[in-house]
Amino acid sequence: MNVKLSIREDFPILAREVHPGVPLVYLDSTATAQKPLQVLQAMQEYYERSNGNIHRGVHTLAEEATALYENARQKIADFIHASDASEIIYTRNTTESINLVAYTWGRKFLNPGDLVILTEMEHHSNLVAWQILAQEKNLRLEFIPVNDEYLLDLDEYRNLLAQQPKLVAFTHMSNVLGTIKRPKRSSKWRMPPVQSPWWMARNPCRTSPWMCRIWTPTSWRSRRTRCAVPPELACCMAKSIC
């Protein structure tokens, strides 16, 4: 069986022809992911049978919706090998996840003059939030450069690391270059958020051996950072924060 064709058949929208005899080819998944038939069917079944507010009612639909919601959280935790389902925070996308980290943990724990390290290959979503926070709190923002082989300059990284950064944030796999970073090799990094939406769709995921506190495929955070997120910002995203 042709695996690629088999996967393509799971997506009804890809049966379209954008011109006579020209099938749709979609390459904008990082902006909006198309939904496979299994997801569309699950969504339809939910809205037809179990649509209700979660964690807010005791009637049948609310209880069913809550169970489905929390079962999905457990499935995600199992998929990425998180130690507990309560580590999973639902957000709308990776950008919102990083903004949540920057404007909660960052505002609480970063102080004027603190060093924040990013890389030159970061996606927009892992750049702007830190630029805004750096301007707001007078932080020092530095970037690990990319060499001629489109890899990070680890010598320069070591120089920056020697300056005791408070935060290192990087993409797990570059959406432009395809360059892959290995979080487990970075045990000295302070509280590194790892941006991983492109990695997660194509590779096995195990959060436990990674030396990071927050992973955003769209959002996982270790128990050690749970109390950094104030309830007023996270109450809709997690069942329990602290």
User: Tokens at residue 87, please?
Assistant: 């580590």
Whether 141 is covered by a domain: the verdict is yes
Tokens 């927009």 locate to 124
DSSP letter (8 states) at residue 13: G
Residue 48: Cβ within 10 Å count: 8
pLDDT of the residue at 234 = 44
pLDDT tens, position by position, 145-204: 988 888 888 899 889 989 999 888 887 777 677 666 665 544 444 444 444 444 455 545
C-alpha to C-alpha distance for 111 and 156, rounded to whole angstroms: 24
Whether 9 is covered by a domain: the verdict is no
Whether 140 is covered by a domain: the verdict is yes
Whether 62 is covered by a domain: the verdict is no
Number of structural domains the chain divides into: 1
Whether 77 is covered by a domain: the verdict is no
Whether 207 is covered by a domain: the verdict is yes
pTM of the model: 0.70
* DSSP E strands, the chain: 17-19, 22-23, 115-119, 140-144, 167-168, 170-171, 193-195, 214-216, 220-221
Q: For residue 98, what are the domain limits?
A: 85-234
The residues that bridge with 141 in the sheet, in sequence order, are 116
C-alpha to C-alpha distance for 97 and 215, rounded to whole angstroms: 9
- Residue closest to 170 by CA, chosen among 105, 159, 162, 157: 157
The least confident of 83-97, 105-119, 165-179 is 165-179
Find how far residue 174's CA is from the centre of its chain.
Answer: 13
The least confident of 71-80, 113-122, 220-229 is 220-229
pLDDT tens, position by position, 2-15: 556 688 899 999 99
Contact 234, 104 (CB under 8 A): yes
CATH number at residue 201: 3.40.640.10
